Amino acid sequence: MINPLVSSDLVSIAHRAHQASLELSALRGSDRSKALQVMAEVLQRQQDDILEANTLDLEASREMAVPELILDWLKLTPERLMTAVRLLQRLGELSDPIQPVTSTPYLVDQCQTYSQLMPLGVIALIYEAFPELGAIAAGLCIRTGNSLILRGGSEGSHSNLAITETLQNAIEDAGLPRHCLQLVPTDQGDPIRELVTQDQYVNLVIPYGRASLVQQVIRQATAPVLKTAIGNCYLYWSSSGSLDVARWVILDSHQSEPDPVNAIEKVLIDRNKHSAATLTMLWKSLKEKGYELRGDETLVTEFPELLLAAATEWDQAYLNKTIAFKAVDGLDEAIAWINQYSNGHADCLVTESYQESRQFALGINSAMTYINASPRFYRNPKRGSPIALGMSNQKGHRRGLISLETLTTLKHIVQGNGL
């Protein structure tokens, strides 16, 4: 049964966020840039208080036997917090993404037509653990002129509150509407269902975490949802592909922290084309790095050192240092398998064949394909690359990196002379 007080509170939160988004979108880009710099300064200044709040969350979560994976995601370090600070600073240095005007193929007789990127309005981020993600999302939303409603997991309640209040004070000090950033309490009712059905005010919902959370939001939401994904990325290691490149792609993909979004967790190999010695060399090097290796029935029969992967594992993310290997009959079967079982956001090919690379690039349905390149995800990439919240694997609103452009929409403007 829905608590009417909670329902009323959430309607108020959504309405305030909507009103704040109207004010925010009317401000100059320089005003939002200034606010982002103030947010970065205050977040850094309040670092000790935020880390102390995070310690309370970690202690309570350990007592509640929260899974180790969530504890890893929940743990804030000075380095993780400083990553958020640096991202806010970088976002403040960028030009306004909603000002540029571009031409449009939409033509009207005796009228001038052009297009402009505009804010979506109100974004809701529903996430488990990852307290710093709220700060990064706030930066992306302020930069694009959107309001943000945060709904973090109960395991990070103290951390999320400390970060949100810190940023709200900074936003207000910078002259922006305080309610453009709000946090939904997690201590009563069913706030997820209530939040994702506020489609009168909420323009986009982004769920971030394990697949169970993402699917829950998709099932319950009436507002638009941007589906996200973590893990279960595939690599097809062609018969012409180098052992060194395959090993590097696998290992490097797991290096992003705290969430290796694009980690290679499944590897398809060309049946009978790689020698036993080559496979053994790869598996030995992975085991030395602490990986648990699994395989299909064919490979386990030939290589007993592999653990048998269950049929249900091929479309599920491990989200740890586990990699499963499967033998396939060439590129066509590999493409069909990946399209059926991968999470669909980042899949890879290691090959020395140009023809194979073209066939793979055109045949894979995933948001991004990598050929002889690591799919490693960088939330704080090198300058010149887009700052991203995560990865989307859907074919709807936007695919691939969840960046500034993802949080905007296109408006066509037609200007005539009145006749």
- For the stretch 258-280, pLDDT in tens is 889 999 999 999 987 888 999 99
Closest CA to 121 of 408, 336, 389: 408
Ranges of beta strands (E only) in 257-302 are 264-270, 292-295
What's the rounded mean pLDDT across residues 303-321?
A: 95
* pLDDT recorded at residue 224: 94
**Residue found under tokens 């269950």:** 310
CA distance 38 to 163: 14
Q: What percent of the chain has pLDDT over 70?
A: 97
The reported pTM is: 0.93
Structure tokens at 368: 């991004």
What's the rounded mean pLDDT across residues 41-69?
A: 96
Residue 182 sits at the vertex; the CA angle it makes with 177 and 188, to the nearest 5 degrees, is 150
* pLDDT recorded at residue 188: 61
What is the three-class DSSP state of 225? strand
Closest CA to 16 of 114, 88, 100, 122: 122
Residue 144 has pLDDT above 50, yes or no: yes
**Confidence tier at 314 by pLDDT (50, 70, 90):** very high
CA distance 357 to 202: 41
Residue 375 has pLDDT above 80, yes or no: yes
Q: Write down all domains in the chain, each with its CATH number in brackets.
A: 4-228+402-415 (3.40.605.10), 233-371 (3.40.309.10)
Residue 303 has pLDDT above 50, yes or no: yes
What's the rounded mean pLDDT across residues 297-324?
A: 95
Residue 82 sits at the vertex; the CA angle it makes with 186 and 125, to the nearest 5 degrees, is 30
* pLDDT recorded at residue 111: 83
Alpha-carbon Rg of the chain, whole angstroms?
23
Residue 60 has pLDDT above 90, yes or no: yes
Per residue in 178-228, pLDDT (tens digit) is 999 999 987 766 789 999 999 999 999 999 999 999 999 999 999 999 999
**Confidence tier at 1 by pLDDT (50, 70, 90):** very low
* pLDDT recorded at residue 189: 64
What's the rounded mean pLDDT across residues 299-309?
A: 94
Structure tokens at 224: 């638009």
C-alpha distance from residue 136 to each of 25, 43, 121, 293, 308 (Å): 19, 11, 17, 34, 40
Strand 400-401, strand 391-392: pairing? antiparallel
What is the average pLDDT score of the chain? 92
* pLDDT recorded at residue 105: 78
**Confidence tier at 3 by pLDDT (50, 70, 90):** very low
Residue 23 has pLDDT above 90, yes or no: yes
Q: How many residues comprise the chain?
A: 419
* pLDDT recorded at residue 8: 67
Looking at residue 117, its amino acid is: L
- Residue 326 is given by DSSP the state E
Of 128-142, 346-360, 371-385, the poorest mean pLDDT is in: 371-385
Structure tokens at 9: 């509170």
What backbone torsions phi and psi does residue 372 show, to the nearest 5 degrees? 55, 35
CA distance 42 to 55: 20
Per residue in 156-169, pLDDT (tens digit) is 999 999 999 999 99
Per residue in 221-262, pLDDT (tens digit) is 999 999 999 999 999 999 999 999 999 999 999 998 888 999
Query: Could you give the strand order of the β-sheet that contains 204-208, starting from the edge strand earlier in sequence?
Result: 181-183, 147-152, 122-127, 204-208
**Confidence tier at 7 by pLDDT (50, 70, 90):** low
Per residue in 65-78, pLDDT (tens digit) is 999 999 999 999 99
Residue 364 has pLDDT above 50, yes or no: yes
CA distance 341 to 312: 10
H helix or E strand, kind and range, residue 102: strand 101-102
The Cβ of residue 329 has, within 10 Å, a number of other Cβ atoms equal to: 11
Q: What percent of the chain has pLDDT over 90?
A: 82
Strand 408-415, strand 112-119: pairing? antiparallel
Closest CA to 70 of 221, 179, 268, 212: 212
* pLDDT recorded at residue 259: 87
What's the rounded mean pLDDT across residues 291-309?
A: 95
148: which strand partners?
Answer: 123, 181
